[in-house]
Amino acid sequence: MSIALKQVFNKDKTFRPKRKFEPGTQRFELHKRAQASLNSGVDLKAAVQLPNGEDLNDWVAVHVVDFFNRINLIYGTICEFCTERTCPVMSGGPKYEYRWQDDLKYKKPTALPAPQYMNLLMDWIEVQINNEDIFPTSVGVPFPKNFLQICKKILCRLFRVFVHVYIHHFDRIIIMGAEAHVNTCYKHFYYFVTELNLIDRKELEPLVSGNLQPNAVENSPFSFP
């Protein structure tokens, strides 16, 4: 990463504290392996495939936490421009509006300004990934039976952050010179969730229809490395 990008994606811009893996654990080793593959320049389609002999839940857990950290960082770079005035509704252009529901305060889907939606979303994900009953960190402690369903919901909601950033704030990303970094993160996310069928194809439509599907790069307003 260039010095300029390091200045953009610094710790002060992080929207939420990063969740880390404990050294010496299986998940820490999987995290290192995944990062090594990305840093080596290996094809992203190959990098997201479940390694032979590894547990699917462990592989998904590592990536969910990693994507939360990365997307949290991306949103942190533009959050000062995402206000109730500029973004009175959490949306992805005129065709897509996202409403918040958490079965606590918001028991029914509720229209909210984008920054309020983002705060609730990041808080909600933090609770999930820091819950030992859902994301166990101790060796030998099993994942819950509905673990993949929980992760699908987390990833689906994280994807909405990409939609909002790309459609409403990508001009800021370009001004910061960070479009290549954001595009690579999106491409990695897209290949992972489609490889393992973790997001309904209908949910991906806001960016696919906008020619942001990685295989349609030649028609895209953005450049994927």
Question: Over the stretch 19-39, which tens digit does the pLDDT of each residue have?
Answer: 554 555 545 555 455 555 455
Higher-scoring residue by pLDDT: 42, 91: 91
CB within 8 Å of 142: residues ≥ 6 apart? 136
Higher-scoring residue by pLDDT: 157, 21: 157
pLDDT band of 57, cuts 50, 70, 90? very high
Q: How many domains does the chain have?
A: 1
pTM reported for the whole predicted model: 0.80
Q: Is residue 37 included in any domain, yes or no?
A: no
Exposure string (b/e) for 2-37, b if CB count within 10 Å is 16 or more? Answer: eeeeeebbeeebebbeebebeeeeebeebbeebeeb
Q: Is residue 25 included in any domain, yes or no?
A: no
Which amino acid does the sequence have at 106?
Y
C-alpha dist (Å) from residue 125 to 29, 187, 220: 23, 21, 30
Closest alpha carbon to 128 in 193, 60, 182: 60
pLDDT of residue 116: 97
Average pLDDT over all residues of the chain: 80
Q: Is 169 labelled a binding residue?
A: yes
C-alpha dist (Å) from residue 114 to 52, 66, 69, 105, 111: 40, 23, 19, 17, 9
**What is the domain range of residue 151?**
61-219
Q: Is residue 144 included in any domain, yes or no?
A: yes
Q: What is the pLDDT of residues 208-217, one digit of tens each?
A: 755 444 433 3
CB within 8 Å of 51: residues ≥ 6 apart? 30, 33, 59
pLDDT of residue 220: 43
pLDDT of residue 5: 39
Which amino acid does the sequence have at 182?
V
pLDDT of residue 41: 56
pLDDT band of 46, cuts 50, 70, 90? confident
Which amino acid does the sequence have at 177?
G
Q: Is residue 224 included in any domain, yes or no?
A: no
Q: Is the pLDDT of residue 158 over 70?
A: yes
Q: Is 87 labelled a binding residue?
A: yes
Q: For residues 191 and 201, what is the distance between their CA atoms, to the nearest angstrom?
A: 12
Output the domain CATH number for residue 188: 1.20.140.30
pLDDT of residue 103: 82
Q: What is the pLDDT of residues 89-138, one digit of tens each?
A: 999 988 899 999 998 899 999 999 999 999 999 999 999 999 999 998 87
Q: Is residue 19 included in any domain, yes or no?
A: no
Which tokens belong to 169? 């704030």
Which tokens belong to 18? 């990063």
Q: For residues 5 and 149, what is the distance between their CA atoms, to the nearest angstrom?
A: 35
